[in-house]
A and B are shown apart, each in its own frame.
Chain A
Amino acid sequence: MTTLACWLIRAQFRSRRAATLLSMLAIALGVALGYAIHLINDAALADFSRAMRAVQGDPDALIAGRDSSGGVPLASINEIASDPAVLVVAPVIETRVRVGSTPLRLIGIDVFSAAAVMPGLLPRSAAGGAGGDILAGAVYASPALLDKLSLPIGATLTLMRGDQQWSTRIAGDLPATDQNDLLLVADIAWVQEHFGPTDAVSEGRIRLAPGIDAATWRATTAQLLPDGLLLRAPEDDSARAANFSRAYRVNLNVLALVALLTGAFLVFATQLTAVAQRSTQFALLGVLGLSPSLRLLQILCEALAIGAPGALFGVSLGYMLALAFTQLVGGDLGGGYFSSSTPAIVPRIAPALAFFALGCAASLAGAIYPAFLNRSQPLAQALQAGFAQIVEAGGVRRRGWLPPVLLALTAFVLSRLPPWYELPLAAYAAIALLLVVGITSAPLLTRNLFAWCAGRRLPAAQQIALQNVAQAPLMAQVAASGLIVSFALTASMVIMVSSFRTAVDHWLDQVLPAPLYLRSKATPLPQSLLDALMQADAPFARVERTAHTSLTLDPQHPAVALIVREIERGNPAARLPITGPLLAPPADRTPVVWISEPLREIYRIEAGQWLRLPLLGRTVEGFIGGVWRDYSRQFGALVISSDDYRQLGGDFHPTDLALWPLPGRDAAAWLAPYVASHGLELADAGDIRRSSLSIFDKSFAVTYALEAAAMLIGLFGLAVTLAAGVRLRARELAMLGALGFSRRMLSHAVMLEGALIAVVGLAIGLACGIAIGAILTHVVNPQAFHWRMPLQIPWAAVVCSALSTLGAAVVASHYAARRATRLPLARILASA
């Protein structure tokens, strides 16, 4: 029995080498993409956590201000330090400075406490001294920074932040820091002396005494803290890293699954045609005693024989892809969540096995229907006349339009559901259902459309092609299914990306009103420049200042951006792309904030409500005056006017300027000395626009690769099925040849058949694609990324790609047609 199975598999592989290899390749491709994405994301996430741990250490709790411009008062640090449950509090002052034009992190540590919590930041003196230099005001540089600055240990350097400067000496390095970290470590007092803040530190990292339950301690202590302080667990930070990139990672994995799905369709096509082709063979074996269940098993075994090597190859290919990608590009797949470092790819056995199993499962899933068909073949009929398609055709007629309509309705309902676990899982299910709808409606459409066409008066060759398609809807379905799936997904991605890009383009117009922008890389702008801008001879008609800082509203979510802007309280719409109603605050002196769409979605708040802001060390109630569109800060942002911020007692230290130069004046030349001496960034609106769109395009690059792969697989599927169809109908074609059809006419008939199937596939694919595109745009994007945008169907692009796919389909069916014209007609007729 086993011998027979092996023999059948070998025979099948030999006679259908191209189709088998293609199926294997498709499975391998799907598995490889999925596994590579998994490996890269896993490595990037691990890398992110490791880098964070290197700098942050491994504390039991962290205390920090909710407002990034504030800090933890020294008194609070000392109070916590005197708690008997606390072993040590390691305070840090962290600030961004630059050396020349290189921005870097300066971390002020306390050597006495740092060792217990963050040994990764401990300095190593070049002189073999043991830490004395650090107390005397020397700094220690990470190896990456020494490299970047090309400075030796012992060199002097000047650190700058806004107008503040500190000239010091590099006394050694930081052996335990991450290879990509650009950072300097100095004594906390020296950092405070030069860059502030007075009487506060940025963060305290707490090590508890052994035997103290960290969660309980955090809960009790948090209640005693002042409003502006937040006590968080280090797990919060890792959870946040995983949380904020999760939607993106899941989306990529869904795309990889699509490649796998297409692979499954290819297996389906291959195995179905194989069943049809060998129906006589199987019928003979059946008559000789091969039971129906063994016939079913045989087809599944054959599928596994395709799936297993494909999946195995896919896993190794995925590993190599991941390795190559991280070496060449880094750990970021375009989402911008991870630094472009080179994370180490560490394959673990369980995920590799899971992806292998997934590949096998896809292959088996593709073979289930053909296997059942093979089992239920009426033997006598098959022996006599080959594959009995009528079985399926009858089934189609019975079920009619009801199932696809029901499925479509279900998909619609699913697409209206809210996210699950902050993921658009229902929407993904709706997309999968839509694909099923497309495939099940293919035979119906084919039959109805072509039966109608076949009724017209047409030349014989065309008539035959139409009849063929209309009367063998199952084969048409098989051939078209790959195309439906791949084109639907491609079209939907094109629609989604295009909608998104149009929206971003439009948004950029609104958020970049000024011709010129100046920013200082997260450090305050120099006062000298701000003063000079106020002078009458400054070449600007208008200057608007902005300060960027951040607030922690919830430790489980990344900090939201707080943008303090010179903006009119009464007319925010002049500067912000407001999307909903604009509400006036109840009182004139109430602070008003305008929140971004992501902030509204993440924290589930609306315009007109009040938002508790942990601002300036206390809780401030802000009135939400409106919601604005923001595509650049995915974790949420809120804008407050500089007047309101000052009125609340905040210091307005601008970090960004929007500039309207006077006509005829050379603004860039006027700014040049400031830009050069303070390492500022000057860009005109056009540059920012171009670079933003280029980042946008880059981040979708990986999806284009997946779409191309899906389209290729779909086309292969079409070619393989058509070719199989030709073989199946060899007798009929030979008969036509005998009746006087030239080879040219036969070839045309086959190509027309392919083109007709492609037209059906593409039409259904397009319809599904538009529906899926709408789900991606209106459901997946807002649910997964909190981005809202109008649906924009790029008809030209979609129709063009449909036409080019049609062209490719005709070329692919030419391959099948060549087979038709090369059939040894006489011999076939003789054997009939």
Chain B
Amino acid sequence: MRRRTFLLASLLLSTPVRAAAASVAYPPVRPGAGLVFPRDHGAHPAFRNEWWYVTGALDTPIADTGFQLTFFRSRPGTAEDLRSPLAASQILFAHAALTIPGDRLRHAERAARANLGASFSSADCDVSIGAWRIFRQADGPGELLRLQMQSPQFSYDFTLTPSQPLLLQGDGGYSRKGHSAQLASYYVSWPQLVVSGSLLHDGHRHPVGGRAWFDHEWSTALLGDGAVGWDWLGINLADGGALMAFRMRDAEGRTLFAHAAWRDNAGHLRQFDPASVEFAPLRHWTSPRSGALYPVEIEVRIGDRSLRTRPLLDDQELVTSQPLSVVYWEGLVRVEGGFRGRGYLEMTGYAGKLQW
């Protein structure tokens, strides 16, 4: 569940643009669309938001190193009538982060408009900003994903080899985000990807190994009534299973909507309705930067099991500046209890109300 694009888009848009956005006819998200791959790995530029999101945990060179690379595509509804190829009708952002245990979180970002330093394909997964890129390669017997990014502090060039089939979230990829039917997205996950490649860090190039999680989601819907943010988890379970859970929160921290999906190591997928998913904060960490109070340790009950999150580092808060400042917590956690594994926890809307 990656809804922070809404936030970025909304910040990018000021009043007159939002008025213009209202006049743009975004397609609705409907159940039963029947996703086709690799076509649906590519971009869906007619929709308002889209993201390609990869998180993972490395075992080498340093165990429990977390990484994240996300590309966002936004169609803000501006400059729609321009014939100019430079029209800012499709904007791309990218965030990258690296968490090394015992160190601080490092992150980098990029932003550009399509056709001017950024591009995306509508036929397959291939999105780039400058030399940053996520793309799918289908040569030879199998297929794989490549991640490339460079920043002054760290760079990586990873190859992700699938070990399991795609996981279509919700109803064949139609994923509900609220009680109202419009609050939904198309959502495809690809858990348990095997990571290889190299990480350049502190001037040294290291070969890496680990496991990653790929999400691709696109939608038109905005944040639901009363929601200020969300908590989300995507965990590669130690036994080979995959677990995704999220909840939408209101200003008082109450759950407005929740959902979870668990595919066990036999490939059996179980979905959980809002009544079966419960988030309970156990320990908070206060950000010295934003002052936000994040429940870094959460107990999540999913059906009849429950898990606890243990962050590898308390401070995995991201403060991005391009094109505007966005503050959220996104980091590698270990889960214990009824489920065991590693993955990413994302918490938004804790550093003040979202601008929507």
Mark A residues whose CB is within 8 Å of B: 74, 77-78, 81-84, 86-89, 91, 110-113, 115, 125, 127, 129-133, 135-138, 187-190, 192-193, 199, 201, 209-211
Interface contacts beyond A78-B115, A112-B111: sample of 5 additional A-B pairs, CB < 8 Å, sorted by A: A77-B117, A83-B130, A130-B323, A133-B14, A135-B12
In the bound assembly, the distance between CA atoms of A283 and B81 in angstroms comes to 99
- Whether A136 lies near B79 (C-beta < 8 A) is yes
Q: Which residue of B is nearest A187, CB measured?
A: B88
In the complex, which of the residues B17, B117, B130 contacts A135, with contact meaning CB atoms closer than 8 Å? B17
Q: Which residues of A contact B83 (CB under 8 A)?
A: 193
Q: Which A-B residue pairs are the 5 nearest by beta carbons?
A: A129-B14, A132-B14, A189-B86, A81-B117, A84-B131
With A88-B117, A112-B322 as contacts: A136 and B78 at CB distance below 8 Å = yes
Mask, B221-242, CB within 8 Å of A = 1, is 0000000000000000000000
Q: Which of B14, B15, B17 has the most CB of A within 10 A?
A: B14
Could you say which residues of chain B place their CB within 8 Å of the CB of A189? Answer: 79, 82, 84, 86-88, 113
Q: Is the CB of A129 within 8 A of B82?
A: no
| B16-A133 in contact (CB<8A) | yes
CA distance A433 to B130 in the complex (A): 62
| Cβ–Cβ < 8 Å partners of B82 in chain A | 189-190, 193
| With A130-B14, A190-B79 as contacts: A209 and B152 at CB distance below 8 Å | yes
Question: What's the nearest-Cβ distance from chain B to residue A498, in Å?
Answer: 55
Given A77-B117, A136-B17, A136-B79, do A112 and B128 touch, yes or no (CB 8 Å)?
Answer: no
Q: Which residues of A contact B13 (CB under 8 A)?
A: 132
What's the nearest-Cβ distance from chain A to residue B109, in Å?
11
A82-B128, A189-B88 given; A209·B112 CB < 8 A: no
Chain B residues within 8 Å of A201, by CB: 86
Is B121 in contact with chain A by the CB < 8 A criterion? no
- Judged by a CB distance under 8 angstroms, whether B324 is at the interface is yes
Partner of A78, one of B11, B14, B119: B119
**Chain B contacts to A: CB under 8 angstroms:** 11-18, 20, 76, 78-79, 82-88, 91, 111-113, 115-117, 119, 128, 130-131, 150, 152, 322-324
* Chain A residue, CB-CB nearest to B83: A193
Q: Which residue of A lies closest to B119 (CB)?
A: A78
Q: Which chain B residues lie closer than 8 Å to A111 at the CB level?
A: 323
Contact between chains at B116 and A110 (CB < 8 Å) = yes
| Cβ–Cβ contact B84 & A112, under 8 A | no
Contact of B116 among A77, A83, A115, A130 (CB under 8 A): A77
A491, B18: Cα distance in complex, Å: 73
Bound: A84/B130 CA distance, A: 7
Residues in A with CB closer than 8 Å to B76 are 132, 135
B324 touches A132 (CB 8 A): no
CA distance A190 to B86 in the complex (A): 8
Contact A74–B15 (Cβ < 8 Å): no
CB contacts (< 8 Å) of A113 on chain B: these are 112, 116-117
Whether A74 contacts B86 in the complex (CB less than 8 A), given A112-B112, A132-B14, comes out as yes
CA distance A682 to B91 in the complex (A): 46
CB-contact partner of A82 in B16, B18, B20, B131, under 8 A: B131
Distance (Å) between the CB of B198 and the closest chain A CB? 14
Q: Are B14 and A125 in contact (CB under 8 A)?
A: yes
**Would you give the shortest CB distance from B67 to chain A, in whole angstroms?**
18
Instruction: Assess whether B79 is in contact with A187, with CB atoms less than 8 Å apart.
Output: yes
Residue contact B84 to A192, C-beta cutoff 8 Å:
yes
Contact status A127-B14, CB under 8 Å: yes
CA distance A77 to B85 in the complex (A): 13
Q: Would you call B116 and A78 a contact (CB within 8 A)?
A: yes
A210 vs B116: C-alpha distance when bound (angstroms): 22
**In contact, A135 and B115 (Cβ under 8 angstroms):** no
Please, could you name 24 A-B residue pairs with CB atoms under 8 Å apart, sorted by A?
A: A74-B85, A78-B117, A82-B128, A82-B130, A86-B131, A87-B130, A88-B112, A89-B130, A91-B116, A110-B112, A112-B323, A113-B117, A127-B14, A130-B11, A131-B12, A131-B324, A132-B14, A138-B16, A189-B79, A190-B79, A192-B84, A193-B87, A201-B86, A210-B152
Given contacts A136-B16, A211-B152, contact A131 B116 (CB under 8 A): no
Which residue on B lies nearest to A89, using beta carbons? Answer: B117
Residues of A within 8 A of B150 (CB): 84, 209
What's the least CB distance linking B19 to chain A, in Å?
9
Cα of A478 to Cα of B18 in the assembled complex, Å = 85
Smallest distance from the beta carbon of A79 to chain B beta carbons, Å? 10
Tell me the minimal C-beta distance from A132 to chain B in angstroms. 3
Q: Nearest chain-A residue to B150 (Cβ)?
A: A84
A83 to B150, CA, bound (A): 11
CA distance A130 to B152 in the complex (A): 27
Whether the pair B128, A192 counts as a contact (CB closer than 8 A) is no
Q: How far is the CA of A209 from the CA of B85 in the complex (A)?
A: 27
Give A87's nearest chain B residue, CB to CB. B130
**Which listed residue, A78, A129, A132, A210, touches B78 by the CB 8 Å rule?**
A132
Contact between A110 and B130 (Cβ–Cβ < 8 Å)? no
Using Cβ atoms and an 8 Å threshold, which residues of chain A touch B18? 132
With a cutoff of 8 Å between Cβ atoms, the chain A residues found around residue B117 in the complex are: 77-78, 81, 88-89, 110, 112-113
B323 touches A131 (CB 8 A): yes
A contact residues around B79 at 8 Å (CB):
135-137, 187, 189-190
Q: CA–CA, A777 to B250, complex, Å?
A: 84
